[in-house]
Structures are given as C-alpha cells and as structure tokens.
Structure 1
Amino acid sequence: MDDKFDIEERWPELFGRLDAVERNAVRQSLASAWHEGWIPNREDVENLADVACGAIGMEEFLRRAMAMARRGSGAQG
C-alpha cells in the first residue's frame, strides 16, 4: 500500500469540478477502501467523481464497474 493518500494531488482535474460536499464524499469513499489495502487507479477515481457530480447515473457507474472487472479478469463480453 502507498504510504500517503494523495488522491487529489494525483488527479486534481477530477476533483476540480466537484463541490465541497461531493469532493469530501469521493475522498472519504476512496480513503476508506485505501485503508483496507485497495489502491485506486485514475479510472476508478473518474468513475466515482462522475457519479458524485451527477455526470452519470448509478446504472452507468455500475456498467463501467462491470466492464472494468471483466477487463481485469480477462473475461469478454
């Protein structure tokens, strides 16, 4: 696990469009998972920020998550 949780410093462009409440929600969600050993990538952060600010709905968020999972497992379809 990385020693420092610097998610906003790594991808500030993903947080710039969020208001304070949305930014905190995204940061807290990611921090919680990070403390459990998960290290998010840019796509993970972008998807969570997109749903937090209303750019996408939950259905699209879940579709993206499933597509990422399939790519990660090597599955097709």
Structure 2
Amino acid sequence: MFSAEGQRFDIEERWPELFAQLDASQRRSVLNTLAADWHEGWEPNREDVENITDLVRGAIDQDEFLRRSDAAAERRRKGA
C-alpha cells in the first residue's frame, strides 16, 4: 500500500514482533486502523503501534491505553 506521496505502508514489516500475538482478525483490524490514520498524515512510531496492538490483544484495558496515549502526547508536546 502506498500513500499519495509514494510512501509505503510497512508497519507490520517494521515491527513484526508487535503483530505476532494477534490473530488474523485482530491483525486486520489493527492494520486497517493504522492505515486509515496513516492516510490522514499520521507518521507511525513503535510506541503508538505497540499501544494499539496491546489494547487489541487484551494486554491492556482502555484506561491504560488512554493513560499511555496521553503520556506519549505530553512527551511529544514537550519535545522529549
């Protein structure tokens, strides 16, 4: 899959270990979500992908996902 700018959507190839514990349905759901965000201009990073795959496979709950997401956004806002 390629963006309008010719960039390749290769998240699963970058971090295969994050997808290894997902079943086929979970994997497809995560990739569809990430691809939609990517097409809207989001730049993939390992931390965000890990948080989403952790949520989908049940390793964390929604509250922990939001806590992690908020903390990551705050770090990025501060330039850390």
Gaps of 5+ in 2: none
Q: Given the alignment of the two structures, is residue 60 of structure 1 paired with residue 59 of structure 2, yes or no?
A: no
Which residues in structure 2 correspond to 1:1-77 (within 5 Å)?
A: 3-74=7-78
Q: Normalised by the size of structure 1, how large is the TM-score?
A: 0.92
Q: Normalised by the size of structure 2, how large is the TM-score?
A: 0.89
Evaluate the alpha carbon distance shift between residue 14 and residue 25 of structure 1 in structure 2; reply closer, same or farther with a 3 A threshold.
same
SS of 2:35's equivalent in the other structure is helix
Evaluate the alpha carbon distance shift between residue 6 and residue 19 of structure 1 in structure 2; reply closer, same or farther with a 3 A threshold.
same
Q: Greater relative contact order: 1 or 2 (C-alpha under 8 angstroms, separation 6 or more)?
A: 1
The percent identity for this pair of structures is: 57
Amino acid at match of 1:24: R
**Residues in 2 aligned to 1:52 and 1:43: alpha-carbon distance in whole angstroms:** 14
Q: For residue 40 of structure 1, report the CA deviation from its aligned partner.
A: 1.3
